[in-house]
Amino acid sequence: MTQDKVVGLLTAYGDNERAILDEDDLQLATVLASTAAMGYANAIAWKQMQEFSKGLEATVEERTTELRRTLAESRCLTTDLAGKNSLLDNAYRELEALDGVKNELINRLSLDLRTPVTSLSTAAKILQREKDVRGDKTERLVTVIHDEAEKLLEIIQSIFQASVLSTGARDLKRSPVPAQALFRKAIAPLRDLARERQVKVHVLIPSGLESISCEPDSSEAALRAVIKNGIEFNRPGGEVKLEVRRVVRGEEPWLHLRVADTGTGISDRDLPRVCEPFYQGDDSEAGKRHGIGLGLAIAKRVMENHGGSITITSNPTDGTEIIMAIPQTEG
């Protein structure tokens, strides 16, 4: 017996000389039986321990494999969550920026509209009150009304153009736009300004270029904004040249819309920021402002929405060169 369990049976028999076993024989048999039982029990215990060890190793391996799989899944999930968090952060920052643009636009417009509206109102009241006003005074008042009305129109156009800053590439609807018509519509509203500033505008289009793949309204606004800058910041007798070039990038067709002027140029300090919404820099004419500072910001956003870019180089001697690069394959 071992641990109160019967594990075997030991039988002792007498021989011819000793048919009857004495007490010593019984003790010897008991010792032999106990030793055999202990050895047998140890063998069983060892076998069970080996089986348990193998089972434990298999369990540990299985659990380790499961933990590795869970860890890998956790890492993938963490990476995925990090990517989603990054997208959410970027979207939130973009929304904050757009909200800032909206608020800044409202503030600027509330200030910019006040002065021309006041001037129009005052001039109109004088004309109504003094019915016998004649000559130069009438002409001056009418001129004030006309000029301030033009400012109002420009501000209103800026409101519509500002909507471009809140649109993305998903909202873009390309179509083949006749090149001549696009440039003509972009330049037409600027003819009076060019005449007033004594600036000539030249357009050079390569032969065979009949249409441009773009979104017509936003592209027209971008072109007009860049050309207008070239006129406003030019010298009397200066020039603005719009030149269209075909280029190939990685076997894909592109167009470079190059606008070069002979104006006063952009300072090194202002150049990195001229495409920021509402940024106007240090005007050389003290206190004078040109619009509300959305033109180049709109041009940059339009090009980016098309998958293109805008590059600006400038110096006070040679003026400013702006290249708007726009791919001619959708995607």
Question: For 5-55, how does the pLDDT look when each residue is reduced to its tens digit (9 = 90+)?
Answer: 766 777 767 666 666 767 777 787 777 777 877 777 777 878 888 888 888
pLDDT of residue 284: 46
Q: Which residue has the higher pLDDT, 123 or 221?
A: 221
**Tokens, residue 307:** 């998958």
Q: Which is more confidently placed, 266 or 288?
A: 266
How many other β-carbons are positioned within 10 Å of the β-carbon of residue 14?
11
3-state secondary structure of 110: helix
269-305: pLDDT as tens digits: 888 888 887 777 765 444 455 666 778 888 998 999 8
Of the chain, the end-to-end C-alpha distance in Å amounts to 87
CATH tag, 174-331 = 3.30.565.10
Residue with tokens 């098309």: 306
- Give the per-residue pLDDT at 200: 95
Q: With pLDDT > 90 as the criterion, what percentage of the chain qualifies?
A: 23
Q: Which of 276, 250, 254, 271 is nearest to 325 (CA)?
A: 254
**For residue 239, what pLDDT band results from cuts at 50, 70 and 90?**
very high
Q: Residue ranges per domain, the chain?
A: 174-331
Q: What confidence category does residue 241 fall into, taking pLDDT thresholds of 50, 70 and 90?
A: very high
Strands (E), 49-194: 175-178
- Amino acid occupying residue 93: R
Q: What is the pLDDT of residues 18-30, one digit of tens each?
A: 667 677 777 877 7
Distance (Å, rounded) from C-alpha 224 to C-alpha 295?
8
pLDDT tier for residue 330 given thresholds of 50, 70 and 90: low
Helix 295-305 to helix 216-232 angle (10° resolution) is 150
* Dihedral of alpha carbons 150, 151, 156, 158, sign: positive
Share of the chain above pLDDT 70, in %: 79
Q: Specify the pTM.
A: 0.59
Tokens standing for residue 136: 């130069």
Mean of pLDDT over the chain: 80
Residue, of 60 and 116, whose pLDDT is higher: 60
Question: Which carries the bigger pLDDT value, residue 250 or residue 165?
Answer: 250
Residue with tokens 């606008």: 259
pLDDT, position 234: 92
What is the predicted pLDDT for the residue at 7? Answer: 64
Q: What is the mean pLDDT of residues 125-130?
A: 69
Q: What are phi and psi of 134, to 5 degrees?
A: -140, 170
The total of other beta-carbon atoms located within 10 Å of residue 177's CB is 19
Give the pLDDT of residue 173. Answer: 84
pLDDT of residue 75: 84
CA distance 227 to 243: 11
